[in-house]
Structure 1
Amino acid sequence: MVHQRPELALHLAAKANDTVKLQELISSGWDVDFGCRGTALHDAITSGHPDVVRLLLDAGADSEKPAMGDFSFECDNSLVLAAIWGRRAIVKMLWDHGVAHGLSSVRKPRVDHLSRVRKLSKLHQSAISEAASRGFDEIVSDLCAWRAMDADEVDAALFVGAAQWVEGAIQTLLQGGKATQDGLDEALWKAASCRRKLCGSEFKPDELHPQKQRRVIELLLDAGARINAQQGSVGDTALHISASSPDTAGAVQVLLERGADVHIRNEDGATAITRAMVKHRRPLPTGDRFNTDTITMLLQHGASAFVTDNLGQTPMHILAYYGPYSLFQFCLEHHRYPNIFISTLCGETMLHRAAHGNQVGIVERLLAEGARINDRSSSGWTALLFALEERLGVVSMLQVANLLLDHGAKATDITQEGWTALHRVADLYNEHHEGVTALIERLIGLGADTEAQAVVPGDIYQYRPAGYRLKLSLQTPLHWAASNGSVAVVKALLRHGANPVARDSAGLTPALCATYAQACDRPRYSIEKRQQVIKLLLTHGARFEDKDASGRGVPNWAAANELPLQWREW
């Protein structure tokens, strides 16, 4: 193969550090710059062979030719490639050879016409930025010593170095004193966030130690980064950013120690503690992860869990939905005069949110504190209606629903869209659970209307509806259950006299809904299951010959799916 493709032998020799073979090939006149995805020089750099690099440079290899970095990332030239791989001796050799001289250590492109954001994005791919992001402190120091960096380059390198919590590189970059105020602030925001893994690399255990992040933040603050500076588009401070993840609780601690203001609001009106309330699942390991340490520190420094944002939502509304109860209880008891009756601009209370999240313990605590069980949201939704959704599974949902009914929740309430508790039950995943059937019996026994018509979403939608998020089309609970393939709910409703021939606002009967509707956010509504629902409706009085406004009926669907036209044969 070597004799058939001598040009590839250049690459093999460069990788193998075989200078004798390489010299022989060069003397034979083969193109040293051959390679569609990199040259022999690039192979020598990534393999770490300075002698081969010198030989190729002396033979006229193009050191300015773009190279392929990690995962096919194209870097501007061989100097950047050497910086990515941490080849200090080769970086020195390439610099002395004159790579990118007269531009910058990065082969600085023409960026003066770009916005600051785009300019820094381009400069993040420089040699000094690549070395800084990977923690090659000595290369950063060398590049700074060989040529004075301008402010844009320093800002860009600070940004990527801060993102990786690289203390040594940050210290070296700050020594020159050329970083701008914006550059320092942007680096602080990045240092306050979770460290992101570089492509193709794995974190070493010591690299994730919170002390690394702490030291980088302290270096930036000492250099003049403004601790309460807010990001232009969203208004977050470094404290907002670090409060957003359990993995950066150490950053929260140092920022609070250095005087970060817990009361600053971002563009949404949210303080840092609001950002700390959401349940986190990433990074790995997976599983429910709560930001308990950060929330505790923020409360101890004067943050309020009852402050409202631009939508009237408090951190306690978020916590009521996500839980856990222990953290909700801690926040509730931390405040001397907690107001559990605060509602959002949409009229949703903490009880609404806790019920929607299937948080049994939190619902119990709110009821014990005097929460009004039948309060309505701006669109008429009560805690019971919010509760009828399997956020934490059917068991928790049933516990919350029955708890609310035990405390006097009305089963007859109807929202502005016409939704009843029966519509909500008709939308459950686990409709075959014996508790669901018992709940339907209980709701109907308490007066729930089986013929109430409600505004429901169209055939295609992205989420299960609740509150003000509903779309259009009037249907009874039986229509909605048939649309979603809820066999057990269809049976229960028919048993209690639901009308199988009623038409919705689009002229569809429940059987036609079962025939043509796209089920809501659940596994594919199979032909077999549709047959089961349709046959159940037909045996209770639905008419096989009924058609919709376009003339389609159950027979058309049966023929299209090669089913017998006599439905009793199904």
Structure 2
Amino acid sequence: MKKERCDAASGVESIELDATVVATIRFKAVPPQLLEVDIALCDAAAAGQVDMYNSTPLFVAATGGCTGAVDTLLKHGAEISCSVLYETCHYGQAEAVAILLDHGAKVFANTGQQNPMCAAARPGSVKILELLHECGFDINPSDQGMISTPLHEASEIGYVAVVEWLLTHGANVDATDGAGKTSLHHAVNRRHSDVVTSLLDHGAQADIQDTVRSYRASRGKYDIVQLLLANVSNTQRNLTVTS
């Protein structure tokens, strides 16, 4: 429900958003144009309310790509948290990410919290990666929650364009994740031939023991087998063939 009140300073009637309205916004049960009007009338106090999922209106608007609402909420004093930026990247909302960064979200660059670069790699958004990179977010630090790098994420999912962008911007091709796996391990196991090729072209070590042996996981993808065998040392190839 909406709660109407009169602003003592301006005498203008404003609207606060309670949890029910925030939940309605989350599930987009109202037309987008009405959503913009509702949020445009909120104030700083309303911007800090949360719904049953502990999500603020800013979180809901940003992850949903409602850029007009995001801009209005920020102008009314809504606070940006690292989780808001992270999840907005995860949902691939490039325009909303740009607004958040313009309003100070860049302070979360390399703070040791979850790395938004990893989140941006998951939906395959080169645009968001570029925005974050320009604001100083590091390509190589691991995601503290998943213990992986953006290159691991993109390689596992199979976004070759993202993989190429990361590698050309300094991503460590042989970095390992929390399980000791490289991006090449993930690309092989997921049978992404184009990603495997890209990683090898950028110097990925195909003679790492687990990588070579994991070619069996390609399950019939003989092109991946050939790529790996063409890039391993003779000694390692003999070990693989005879094992």
Per the alignment, residue 539 of structure 1 pairs with 201
Cross-structure match for 1:553: 213
Q: How many matched pairs?
A: 219
| Counterpart contact for 2:151–2:171, Cα < 8 Å | yes
Letter of the 1:427 partner, please give it.
Answer: R
Helix, strand or coil at the partner of 2:223: coil
Q: Is the 8 A contact 2:22 2:51 kept in 1?
A: no
**CA RMSD after TM alignment:** 3.5
Residues 335 and 444 (structure 1 numbering): CA distance in 2 closer, same or farther, change over 3 Å?
A: closer
1:452 correspondence with 2:141? yes
Task: Name 2:86's counterpart in structure 1.
Answer: 385
Structure 2 contact 193–223 (Cα < 8 Å) conserved = no
CA distance in 2, matches of 1:319, 1:441: 29
Distance 1:564 1:516, change over 3 A: closer
Query: For 1:341-373, what per-residue CA distance to the aligned partner results, in whole angstroms no more than 9, with x for missing partners?
Result: 22458753211111011111211221232222x
| Alignment counterpart, residue 103 of structure 2, candidates 404, 407, 413 | 407
Aligned match for 2:115, one of 417, 420, 428: 420
**Residues 414, 561 of structure 1: CA spacing in aligned structure 2 closer, same or farther, 3 A cutoff?**
same
Whether 2:14 is the aligned partner of 1:307: answer: no
Q: In the alignment, which residue of structure 2 is the partner of 1:316?
A: 22
Which of these two proteins has the greater Rg computed from alpha carbons? 1
Note if contact 1:437-1:489 (Cα within 8 Å) is conserved in structure 2.
yes
* Matched residue type, 2:87: F
User: Given that residues 23 and 52 in structure 2 are in contact (C-alpha distance below 8 angstroms), is that contact kept between their aligned partners in structure 1?
Assistant: no
* CA deviation string 1:454-483 (max 9, x = no partner): 256xxxxxxxxxxxxxxxx52111111111
User: Which residue matches 2:73?
Assistant: 366
Distance 1:448 1:336, change over 3 A: closer
Correspondence list, 1:142-181, <5 A = none
Describe the SS at the equivalent of 2:47: coil
**Counterparts of 1:106-185 in structure 2 under 5 Å?**
none
1:545 to partner: Cα distance: 2.1
The answer to whether the 8 A contact 2:109-2:136 is kept is no
Percent identity between matched residues is: 26
Which whole-Å deviations, capped at 9, do the CAs of 1:253-308 have from their partners, x for residues lacking one? xxxxxxxxxxxxxxxxxxxx4xxxxxxxxxxxxxxxxxxxxx8xx98xxxx96334
Structure-2-length-normalised TM-score = 0.73
Query: Taking structure 1 as the reference length, what is the TM-score of the superposition?
Result: 0.34
Structure 2: which 5+ residue stretches go unaligned?
5-14, 232-243
Residue equivalent to 2:46: 339
Q: Secondary structure at the match of 1:326?
A: helix
Q: CA deviation at 1:335?
A: 7.5
Evaluate the alpha carbon distance shift between residue 557 and residue 335 of structure 1 in structure 2; reply closer, same or farther with a 3 A threshold: closer
Tell me which of 181, 189, 198 is aligned to 1:508: 181
SS of 1:454 mapped into structure 2: coil
Cα distance in 1, alignment partners of residues 74 and 196 from structure 2: 42
| Structure 1 stretches lacking a partner, 5+ long | 1-272, 274-294, 309-313, 457-472, 518-526
Task: Find the counterpart in structure 2 of residue 266 from structure 1.
Answer: none
AA at the equivalent of 2:86: L
State the distance in 2 between where 1:541 and 1:510 align: 12
User: 1:491: Cα distance to partner?
Assistant: 0.9
Deviations 1:426-447 (A, max 9, x none): 111xx3xxxx434323312321
- 1:267 — aligned with what? none
Distance of aligned partners of 1:326 and 1:307 in 2 relative to their CA distance in 1, 3 Å threshold:
same
Which structure features the higher share of helix residues? 2
Alpha-carbon separation, structure 2, partners of 1:482 and 1:337:
41
Q: Deviation at 1:557?
A: 3.8
- Counterpart residue type for residue 367 of structure 1: L
Specify whether residues 345 and 454 from structure 1 end up closer, same or farther in structure 2 by C-alpha distance, changes over 3 A only.
farther
Answer whether contact 1:320 1:328 (CA < 8 A) is retained: no
Contact kept? 1:342, 1:350, Cα under 8 Å: yes
Paired with 1:424 and 1:539, the residues of 2 have a C-alpha distance of 25
Distance across 2 between alignment mates of 1:559 and 1:346: 41
